[in-house]
Structure 1
Amino acid sequence: MNAVLSPLAEIPSPTRGVWDLGPIPLRAYALCIVLGIVAACYIADRRLRARGAPPWVILDVAIWAVPFGIVGARLYHVITSPEAYFGENGSFIKAFKIWEGGLGIWGGIAAGALGAYIACRRLNLPFAMTADALAVALPVAQALGRWGNWFNNELYGKPTSLPWGLEVYNWDSEHGRALEAGGQPIVLGVFHPTFLYESLWCIGVAVAVWLLDRRYRFGRGRAFALYVMLYTVGRFWVELLRIDDAHHVLGMRLNNWTSIVVFAAALVYFLRVKGPQEFVTYDEDNRISVVGAEPAEPAETAAEGEPKELEAPDPEKEPDPKKDPEPEKEPEPARAAQAEETKETQG
């Protein structure tokens, strides 16, 4: 497929996605995913600490959530694109070659949530609170991870003549490099950089959820539901631009239908579930105790004109010279006259 090259400029694609460090292949796709995971853990840790959780408890959650998420994301991709692995020209062994690309976000979120739930139960950490902490972290991870698709020359959109069109090469996924002719990469054409569109959208989602959560203080997983709604809106229109092979249902890509269903489920949850933010505390051994909702604001003083309850005096309390002034003493001559009168009465 050839596209009209833009006369102004194009975004070039990398000609290599793998660098060999001796016997160890260093894959850009994997590096982008790892960088996203690191960024997500840092952001989620900051948000969990603000709710009283011990430092870096998110790492205990990530030990479960990340492997579950990667396996789930790969399974979703293989199930929804089976021809490459089980078709006539498919190879089952390629299903395990995750470095060649192919991770489905829907499977990653679903399986990752299961792993996070198991970890939270073991840690006595509220799952909904953890999900709300991840509501800002996950879109940042997705934004960084999408650059792995750029290194793999994959998941681009329709041909375009826009100045930010992506120049895509004929790619050898087995060895992670562009095919060449005469020492130059073979250019397929210039296409919409859907990886860049989705990356920028995810950054916008993270900022929006962060700002709205600061303003409205969502609890019980509502910040996570908001992230899901905003992400699916962007994913829907990005999918409309993509031209890679995909299953279609009623004339629309499967991922578009998935976006609609997931958006509706998140919206119902966001509207029906109410409640304040959850908070926790922990002891010197990092054992977590749930303390419930955010502490109430201090009681306001009585309105002007309303009677205030008087405190009973404490006999053991030291008198405060400012609040409890000593009674006025009688003048010295008056006391002397009173003593003389008492003496005459007794006589």
Structure 2
Amino acid sequence: METLAFIPSPSAGEIHLGPLPLRGYALCIILGVFVAVWLGGRRWVARGGQAGTVADIAVWAVPFGLVGGRLYHVITDYQLYFGEGRNPVDAVRIWDGGLGIWGAIALGALGAWIGCRRRGIALPAYADAVAPGIVLAQALGRWGNWFNQELYGRPTDLPWALKIDPEHRPVDTPDLATYHPTFLYESLWCVGVALLVIWADRRFRLGHGRAFALYVAGYTVGRFWIEYMRVDDAHHVLGMRLNNWTAIVVFLLAVVYIVVSAKKRPGREEIVEPEAEAEPEPGTDTGGPDSADADAAPEGSSAEGSSSAKEPSEDGPGRGKPSGGKPAGDGGGDGPAGAESVAKGPEPRRKAVDGPAS
């Protein structure tokens, strides 16, 4: 089969940064994580959360997700790692490829739940914020399959066919060089799902986990038809690949969640992170003890003036009322010194000592 044009595969699965070799698959995963955290952080702050919260929770979610993705892959493709002629140690060589998205979502959600619990945040609100970033991370991660020349589709002579080197071709089609680039199909589909979630979230103000559920539903639709095109070994149940059955079940669960959640909790959360809501803005009254004392003082007076008004009754006879019963100022008596003290004293102090004006 000859094609007029095709997508070339990389000559090596590694990128050399000076003396340091970096696996292309690992690079795609790392870039995906950074994009997910960056976009998720921006969306979280826009919803009223604190900057840095998404990254803090990602410290839990990302390792859990990687472990979950690898476990799902090893369990569903155990024949690649266990049995005659196989090396079980290869099961931990994640940099060689092999992550199952279903396991990554399941265990990654567990890690995110732990991180959210530690921050006092509801998991659905967090999931809504990071949903578009996660599916964009998947779009980048799929390019790791291109570096590894794996998980491609059926043979084709289309202009955008992917050329596969002989050592990476299926054993039953060793002479066919070009195949459907399913990695590219899924990558583009994931970008479309991310745009859909962002648009729907702005248009309908999705909340309480519905943006995340929309991402899951949208992704599973694409994964279903792309899975049919792949030629890699897979377990079949009732004539259909296991991942197709998983996509159907997860899609139905996501749709049910959207419908039920919209009825029980319509709209979006008003507060996504209580700590962020409680933080005062710079220059605002914090309601502390000083402000409480000021509020308790008489109109036109200060807390300091109120405490000063008590001084005449505590300083002895020289500062009390004169024998004539006339109220005296702070200086005491009717002489010039007393008059000067009254003239210079603040209005709140005079009111507190002299009593109300008639």
Give the equivalent residue in structure 2 for 1:238: 226
The change in CA–CA distance for 1:136 and 1:18 in structure 2 (over 3 A counts) is same
Distance 1:20 1:147 in 2: 17
Alignment-derived partner of residue 239 in structure 2: 251
2:204 corresponding residue in structure 1: 216
1:54 maps to which residue?
50
Aligned 8 A contact 2:37 2:54 in 1: yes
Q: Does 1:163 align with 2:142?
A: no
Greater helix share, structure number: 2
Superposition RMSD on alpha carbons, in Å?
Answer: 2.1
Match of residue 2 from structure 2: 5
- In the alignment, is the contact (CA less than 8 A) between 1:232 and 1:262 conserved in 2? yes
Distance 2:61 2:167 in 1: 32
What residue in structure 2 maps to residue 14 of structure 1?
A: 10
| Bigger RCO of structures 1 and 2 (CA < 8 A, at least 6 apart) | 1
| Structure 1: distance between partners of 2:251 and 2:117 | 27
> 2:62 aligns to what?
66
- Unaligned 5+ segments in structure 2 are 280-298, 300-358
Cα distance in 2, alignment partners of residues 198 and 280 from structure 1:
35
The structure 2 residue matched to 1:27, chosen from 23, 26, 36, is 23
Matches within 5 A, 1:72-221: 72-171=68-167, 189-221=177-209
Residue among 258, 269, 273 paired with 1:278: 269
Q: Contact (CA 8 Å) 1:11, 1:166: kept in 2 or not?
A: yes
- Aligned length in residues: 273
Shift of 1:188: 5.3
Q: d(CA) in 1 for partners of 2:130 and 2:204?
A: 17
Structure 1 or 2, whichever has the larger Rg, is 2
Q: Is the 8 A contact 1:17 1:151 kept in 2?
A: yes
Tell me, yes or no, if the aligned pair for 2:125 and 2:272 is still in contact at 8 Å: no
For residue 36 of structure 1, what is the amino acid of its counterpart? G
Identity of aligned residues (%): 57
Larger mean CA deviation between 36-45 and 81-90 belongs to 81-90
Q: Could you state the TM-score of these two structures normalised by the residue count of structure 1?
A: 0.75
Give the alignment of 1:255-334 within 5 angstroms: 255-274=243-262, 275=265, 276-280=267-271, 287-288=275-276
**For the structure 1 residues 132 and 11, does the alpha-carbon distance in structure 2 shift closer, same or farther, using more than 3 Å as the test?**
same
Q: Could you list the per-position Cα deviations for residues 252-309 of structure 1 after superposition, in whole angstroms to 9, with x for gaps in the alignment?
A: 10000000000011111111112221143769xxx45699xxxxxxxxxxxxxxxxxx
The superposition leaves residues 124-145 of structure 1 with CA deviations (integer Å, 9 ceiling, x where unpaired) of: 1221111101221111000011
**Deviation readout 1:98-136 (Å, 9 max, x if unpaired):** 111000000000000000000001001221111101221
Q: Going by fraction, where is strand more abundant, 1 or 2?
A: 1
CA distance in 1, matches of 2:178, 2:10: 14
What is the CA–CA distance in structure 2 between the aligned matches of 1:282 and 1:239, rounded to whole Å? 39
Q: Is the 8 A contact 2:155 2:176 kept in 1?
A: no
- Mapped partners of 1:15, 1:290: distance in 2: 55
**CA distance in 1: counterparts of 2:114 and 2:270, whole angstroms:** 19
Q: Stretches of 4+ moved more than 2 A in 1?
A: 19-25, 279-283, 287-291
The code of the aligned residue for 1:163 comes to: P
